[in-house]
Structure 1
Amino acid sequence: MDKKYKVLVVDDATFMTKAISDLLESDAEIEVIGVARNGLEGLKKIKELHPDVITLDIDMPVMDGLQAIRHIMIEAPVPIVVLSSLFSDGSITFEALRLGVVDFVAKPSGAISSDIHVAKQQIVDRIKLATAVNFQNIRRVRVKRGQGRAGHLNASTPSSLVVIGTSLTGPNSFIRLMTRLESGLHAAAVILLEISPKILPAFVEKFNEFASWKIAIAEDGKVLEQGVCYIQSNMLSVTVDFSEYGEPCFKMGEPTDNPLNTLFISAAEAFRERTVGVLLTGYGDDGSEGFARIQERGGKTIAQSVESCVYPNLTDSAIKRKRVDMIADESNLAEAIASLIKR
């Protein structure tokens, strides 16, 4: 490869900028073209150096990471991979993903430079994938605090199940969807996100302040309740099964190469014609086989339109295989899902 991925590293710790730079440049396809000590300096260097992607710390002086993201997305748009030890702060992880960063990667063991190499491949992969985003489709999600759950129904077994799949950049699209999907539907929802399990609890806690549905983590043995949207990382295998009392519940398994197919197929077998499958933005071709099973069992499938995706691969693959009953732009997904839920 003649052309290298050009990266700017923004972090206030000298040892960390060196550790990240060395880590990235150990890959022959990546070139670190500069470093910056805070968000303000980073913004200036983005305009000067025109990197393909930046890594960004959150806890920095002068201009912190969140302030920097806001300015960068308006003044000098570039794909951002957050690399921070502040993953346990829900307001920070949620806000960064809401504002449109490509991913939020937890620094291993805080900010210990020798430990960061544990995550080397993940970080390198994120940098390369970040350069391929359809950047004009990355937008901050506008949210309103305390919009409440006036339509949230009392805990009961859901009549229908919405299963949602996505991958990188999915949290941003998912936040937008779940702040628009009407509450009070006779359904539960479950989504697999490409998000670190370390970040998930804080993300869910913060998301609950804005979503009209209750947001919870999908856990082994947890019984599905109406009006709840369950989230889990696609680093795990999640299936829907029945408890000994005949209640729909989650079963957690070992990681699999096709977590969306695994979830979708199990949902189709459990809820049959009352299953609604949804594919959002993402790379790869996972989910198409699961969509086929949903259709075979009488359920319905929806794909986000290729034109509105940050990564079109997931939805494009399912559409080309004729596994999609309905295609909707991101702005119309919530209405499309509601229209297919069995009343």
Structure 2
Amino acid sequence: MALRVVVVDDSGFFRRRIVEILNADIGIEVVGTASNGREAIEVVRKLDPDVVTMDIEMPVMDGISAVRRIMAESPRPILMFSTLTTEGAKATLDALDAGATDFLPKRFSEMAKDEDSAKILLRRRVRALGRSRMRAGTHQHAEPRDRTAFAEPAPAARPLLQPRPAAGAIPLNSLRALLIGTSTGGPVALQEVLKGLPSSFPLPILLVQHMPASFTPAFAERLNGLCQIEVREAASGDVLKPGCALLAPGGLQMILEGGGQTRIRIQESPPGTIYKPSVDITFNSAVTALKSQVLAIVLTGMGADGREGARALKGQGAHVWAQDAASSVVFGMPAAIIEAGLADQVYSLKDFGPALVKVFC
């Protein structure tokens, strides 16, 4: 059976457009619509969809309030549509804090290079979110036709123990940085991991989150306010320092450069690069700049970004951890690490912070 979707937006034109795009996929069926948050709550109660798409600004009840109510009553994946502005970024981050799963730009021109690509991206996101609900065992209606883009669940998370390095691995007490890469579900996941670290955390931290350029400043600011460590958006010339997390700017690439001091270079993406920023690009730059003396963590996300960078790091003795299936919003990126045999440890999201403190503090 097809994934069942409810579309929520106060614009009749936009609702019809999204319905048309989603229904063009035989694996997706739009079973209902709503024009405001209050209607959305009632429609979700009645139809029990696999996925909800939600606008933020609506009359009667806004999207953030509706997300909070839906997630309190019957949690399910919710995809927000956002404007790529500073205010839109803050509102979207509020929606993610309220329980929304993912977001996309409301203007299709900002979503992809052309409208056809944007439609494909939207359908792909909805299918991935629907599968995440099926994997969690919270719904039985849907059976997606195409499983090739979504990996099977990983083995259960290992116990929270002192990790044992693989043969030839660089000793943990010799590591020079912590690298974390993530995508769908990443904003909430990063918040969970970083909140558990003390201000005295001894390693520099580099964060790569797939996110638009207008969102990363607001996201870094939010993390900085929530965490004991310092968090800020990275800039060219930044020097790595303990207890400071640098977030790759959206739309660009964060490169590590060695020398007397390891520094950050922010640059445009090579032609044909899909992810901006890219986990692979940052991870690969650490092979030379940090001599692979890093712990690389890959969290929830769609696709396989980070796998090849982790492979290069692991080949030189770095340590690699991955998030487990059960706690991932979309088990794509961590699954790629695990299935390639690159993961030294597999943890549930809630266990990363304690594990990092146990190992390094």
Q: TM-score, normalised by structure 1?
A: 0.80
Residue number in structure 2 paired with 1:225: 241
**Letter of the 1:321 counterpart:** A
Percent identity between matched residues is 29
Residue number in structure 1 paired with 2:215: 199
Q: Deviations over 1:69-97 (max 9, x none)?
A: 11111213221000133752254222222
Q: Deviations over 1:12-67 (max 9, x none)?
A: 22232223323333445433222111111101111222222111011122221111
Residue number in structure 1 paired with 2:103: 104
Equivalent residue in structure 1 for 2:6, among 5, 8, 11: 8
2: CA distance, partners of 1:250 / 1:17: 42
2: CA distance, partners of 1:314 / 1:36: 33
Report the Cα offset of residue 234 of structure 1: 7.3
Q: Deviations over 1:214-249 (max 9, x none)?
A: 222233444333322122367644321137x64422
Equivalent residue in structure 2 for 1:82, among 80, 83, 97: 80
Residue 271 (1) aligns with residue 269 (2): no
1: CA distance, partners of 2:47 / 2:349: 33
1: CA distance, partners of 2:263 / 2:238: 9
Residue number in structure 2 paired with 1:120: 119
2: CA distance, partners of 1:332 / 1:278: 13
Report the Cα offset of residue 68 of structure 1: 0.7
Confirm or deny: 8 A CA contact 1:137 1:309 kept in the other structure.
Answer: no
Equivalent residue in structure 2 for 1:310, among 317, 324, 329: 329
2: CA distance, partners of 1:337 / 1:179: 12
Report the Cα offset of residue 303 of structure 1: 1.8
**Letter of the 2:182 counterpart:** T
1: CA distance, partners of 2:58 / 2:116: 22
Q: Deviations over 1:255-295 (max 9, x none)?
A: 63573232212113222353111111223333333233333
Q: 1:94 to 1:212 in 2, by over 3 A?
A: farther
Equivalent positions of 1:167-178 (< 5 A) are 167-178=183-194
Q: 1:285 to 1:23 in 2, by over 3 A?
A: closer
Confirm or deny: 8 A CA contact 2:8 2:54 kept in the other structure.
Answer: yes
Q: Which moved more, 1:53-62 or 1:308-317?
A: 308-317
Confirm or deny: 8 A CA contact 2:177 2:203 kept in the other structure.
Answer: yes
Residue number in structure 1 paired with 2:162: none
* Secondary structure of residue in 2 paired with 1:120: helix
**Letter of the 1:329 counterpart:** S
Q: 1:211 to 1:246 in 2, by over 3 A?
A: closer
Q: 1:281 to 1:4 in 2, by over 3 A?
A: same
Residue number in structure 2 paired with 1:45: 43
Report the Cα offset of residue 118 of structure 1: 8.1
Equivalent residue in structure 2 for 1:334, among 353, 356, 360: 353
Q: 1:22 to 1:288 in 2, by over 3 A?
A: closer
**Letter of the 1:332 counterpart:** D
Determine which structure has greater relative contact order: mean sequence separation of CA pairs < 8 Å that are 6+ residues apart, divided by chain length. Answer: 2
Q: Deviations over 1:95-126 (max 9, x none)?
A: 22223322122222999xxx988843332222
Residue number in structure 2 paired with 1:288: 307
Q: 1:183 to 1:246 in 2, by over 3 A?
A: closer
**Letter of the 2:73 counterpart:** E
Q: 1:233 to 1:311 in 2, by over 3 A?
A: farther
Residue number in structure 1 paired with 2:55: 57
* Secondary structure of residue in 2 paired with 1:208: helix
Report the Cα offset of residue 339 of structure 1: 4.1
Q: Which moved more, 1:177-186 or 1:199-208?
A: 199-208
* Secondary structure of residue in 1 paired with 2:179: strand
Equivalent residue in structure 2 for 1:250, among 252, 265, 283: 265
* Secondary structure of residue in 2 paired with 1:272: coil
Residue number in structure 2 paired with 1:241: 257
Q: Deviations over 1:132-170 (max 9, x none)?
A: 1147599xxxxxxxxxxxxxxxxxxxx821111122112
**Letter of the 1:103 counterpart:** D
Residue number in structure 1 paired with 2:171: none
Confirm or deny: 8 A CA contact 1:265 1:293 kept in the other structure.
Answer: yes
Confirm or deny: 8 A CA contact 1:137 1:308 kept in the other structure.
Answer: no
> For structure 2, which runs of at least 5 residues remain unmatched after alignment?
139-174
* Secondary structure of residue in 1 paired with 2:239: coil
2: CA distance, partners of 1:78 / 1:330: 18
Equivalent residue in structure 2 for 1:323, among 319, 327, 342: 342
* Secondary structure of residue in 2 paired with 1:285: coil
Confirm or deny: 8 A CA contact 2:178 2:206 kept in the other structure.
Answer: yes
Q: 1:87 to 1:9 in 2, by over 3 A?
A: farther
